[in-house]
Amino acid sequence: MKRMIQFFDTTLRDGEQTPQVNLNLREKLEIAKQLAVLGVDTIEAGFPNASKGDFEAVSAVAKEVRDVSVAGLCRSVPVDIQRAWEALKYAQQPCLHVFIATSEVHMEYKLKMTEEEVLDAAVMSVKLAKSFCSDVVFSPEDASRSNLDFLYRVIEKTIQAGATVINIPDTVGFSTPMEFSGLIRNIFANVPNISKAQIAVHCHNDLGMAVANSLAAVEAGATIVQCTVNGMGERAGNASLEEIVMALQTRQDYFDVEHHIDTTQIYRTSTLVSNYMGIDLQPNKPIVGANAFRHESGIHQHGVLNNPLTYEILTPESVGIFKNESMVLGKLSGCHAFEEKIKTLGYHLQEEDLQKAFARFKELADRKKDVSIRDITAILDGKMTDIPAIYEIVDYQIFSGNRKSSTASIILKKGEEELQDAAVGEGPVDAGFNAIDKIVQLPVSLESYSLKSVTEGKDALGEVTVRVKYEDEVYLGKGISTNIIEASMLSYITALNRILAEKALNNHQ
């Protein structure tokens, strides 16, 4: 019988620690629901005691996402564990994940604790977590740089205290594959009660070896992999879920293991996470990058045309990438036909979201002669429906040339009131943003602006992503349109609406 490899996804916790990423509650819920569809075994929804927002997000995921384990991270202190349980107690399968550092450098300079103090804290935290929850994960942070004899003691004692999973982190991406597989084998050989717990691994990518280290650990006997979609995370990120899954899937002849992941949901999950986090993937990113299945060389093209196996070891369809064929839908198509078509792409929307998506499709069909599958997935994955439309664009006019300053006139709607103003700028986008600023009057600064084409052709959909800074926080906005000026205005308004919605929520609380 093949070993079952479980996937513990920490995109919503460790992945959200990516610099300048700040997901709101609705976005976290949508990602969590998609992770459940993808088939991950556990969703680490956040660090409940880190902030009120994290607590609410973990609680919401615990209440609304079924048929999957939901975990919350806690330091080895009672207040963290108690707070995490308050958020997780609604989950169908709650999991408490407690951690404390065990490396000498962390104990001396960060914790300022002795080995015995760390051991006592670890045992106490596992016992407390166990009093709330049967599923307890314990992580000796920075395990790959820890003294082995001490590491073995901590693992043995925390298993005695009730830990069901021991997670071995390569916290700073220090290990090499041979070292890390050796560490896992040594744990199996030197911890007397290791058979009473599962071994998980959590690898960071500082030296570009997170996926290789994770696979080496699986080969050495680990049965749980902690990872993130697109490898998101602090510094160089985490082990990439999609790369590990497809390595196990494609090399069944070597690994001989099973998993619960529906690989056809990989691309959609990757795109959703990329859109909501506002982080574009490098084109040569394995599995989900724009160039992952493109062949430029004539020799490669000739080989693939004769037999795809010459240069493709997996198919685009196996990870849910659809060919850019035109949909048999147009501006006269009805909502029912649209719904049936998007179901074939793996989308199952609630009625309200379906109607909004259909309206966007009809608007797009009026602008484009041919609507492709990639057009549809772009407007579905980039919809940003979670942002309250406090301000909406009614109309705008922009005049621009190469010898004069650009001028923009903007009409925005706020409730039933229409507000109008005009401004000049260095270009059409700058002028439009300045006019919006005069109406909304939020003291923000533009941190970044990026534009990319999400489909092909002269009438391609353009996606604009902006980040604006307000009171030391950075807020993301996205806009999609066949008109890049419109996409720019939409992205900026979305970012400002996000700020205003958060301000209103904080004032209400």
Three-state helix/strand/coil letters over 301-347: HHHHHHCHHHCCCCCHHHHCCCCCCECCCCCCCCHHHHHHHHHHCCC
What is the residue whose two structure tokens read 């959703």?
Answer: 272
Tell me: do 333 and 316 sit in the same domain: no
The answer on pLDDT for 72 being more than 80 is yes
Whether 454 maps to a domain, the answer reads: yes
Neighbours of 193 (CB within 10 A): 11
pLDDT band at 352 (very low <50, low <70, confident <90, very high): confident
Task: Decide: 24 and 32 in contact? Cβ < 8 Å.
Answer: no
Q: What letter would DSSP give residue 172?
A: T
The answer on pLDDT for 329 being more than 90 is no
Question: In terms of pLDDT, which residue wins out, 481 or 384?
Answer: 481
What is the residue whose two structure tokens read 């109406």?
Answer: 439
DSSP conformation letters of 92-113: SEEEEEEEEE-SHHHIIIII--
Which CB contacts under 8 angstroms, 24+ apart, belong to 364-372?
A: 364/461, 364/482, 365/329, 365/330, 365/331, 365/333, 366/331, 367/459, 367/482, 368/459, 368/482, 369/459, 370/326, 371/326, 371/327, 371/329, 371/330, 372/324, 372/325, 372/326, 372/327, 372/455
Tell me: do 213 and 227 sit in the same domain: yes
pLDDT at 482: 86
pLDDT band at 334 (very low <50, low <70, confident <90, very high): confident
Tell me: do 328 and 316 sit in the same domain: no
The answer on pLDDT for 302 being more than 80 is no
Whether 386 maps to a domain, the answer reads: no
Tell me: do 317 and 331 sit in the same domain: no
Tell me: do 256 and 314 sit in the same domain: no
Tell me: do 404 and 297 sit in the same domain: no
Structural domains of the chain, count? 4
The answer on pLDDT for 311 being more than 60 is no
pLDDT band at 116 (very low <50, low <70, confident <90, very high): very high
Strand 445-453 versus strand 42-46 pairing type:
unpaired
Whether 140 maps to a domain, the answer reads: yes
Most confident of 220-229, 321-330, 399-408, 444-453: 220-229
Tell me: do 209 and 87 sit in the same domain: yes
For residues 358-362, give the mean pLDDT. 83
Strand 257-258 versus strand 42-46 pairing type:
unpaired
Task: Decide: 484 and 462 in contact? Cβ < 8 Å.
Answer: yes
Whether 287 maps to a domain, the answer reads: no
Whether 285 maps to a domain, the answer reads: no
pLDDT band at 326 (very low <50, low <70, confident <90, very high): very low
Task: Decide: 74 and 81 in contact? Cβ < 8 Å.
Answer: yes
Q: Which domain does 370 fall in, by range? A: 322-381
Whether 309 maps to a domain, the answer reads: yes
For residues 78-85, give the mean pLDDT. 98
Non-local (6+) Cβ contacts of 375 within 8 A are 364, 368, 455, 461
Tell me: do 336 and 457 sit in the same domain: no
For residues 204-220, give the mean pLDDT. 98
pLDDT in tens, 18-44: 988 888 888 899 899 999 999 999 999
pLDDT in tens, 433-470: 999 999 999 999 999 999 988 777 777 788 899 999 99
Tell me: do 374 and 314 sit in the same domain: no
Of 84-98, 326-340, 397-411, least confident by mean pLDDT is 326-340
Segment holding 225, helix H or strand E: strand 224-227
The answer on pLDDT for 303 being more than 60 is no
For residues 414-439, give the mean pLDDT. 96
Tell me: do 352 and 428 sit in the same domain: no
Whether 459 maps to a domain, the answer reads: yes
Tell me: do 331 and 302 sit in the same domain: no
d(CA 228, CA 239): 6
Based on the number of CB atoms within 10 Å of its own CB, is 115 exposed (0-12), middle (13-18) or buried (19 or more)?
middle
pLDDT at 331: 64
Tell me: do 179 and 165 sit in the same domain: yes
Neighbours of 480 (CB within 10 A): 23
pLDDT at 214: 98
Non-local (6+) Cβ contacts of 363 within 8 A are none
pLDDT at 370: 66
The answer on pLDDT for 106 being more than 80 is yes
The answer on pLDDT for 226 being more than 80 is yes
pLDDT at 304: 47
d(CA 481, CA 472): 30
pLDDT at 394: 95
The answer on pLDDT for 153 being more than 60 is yes
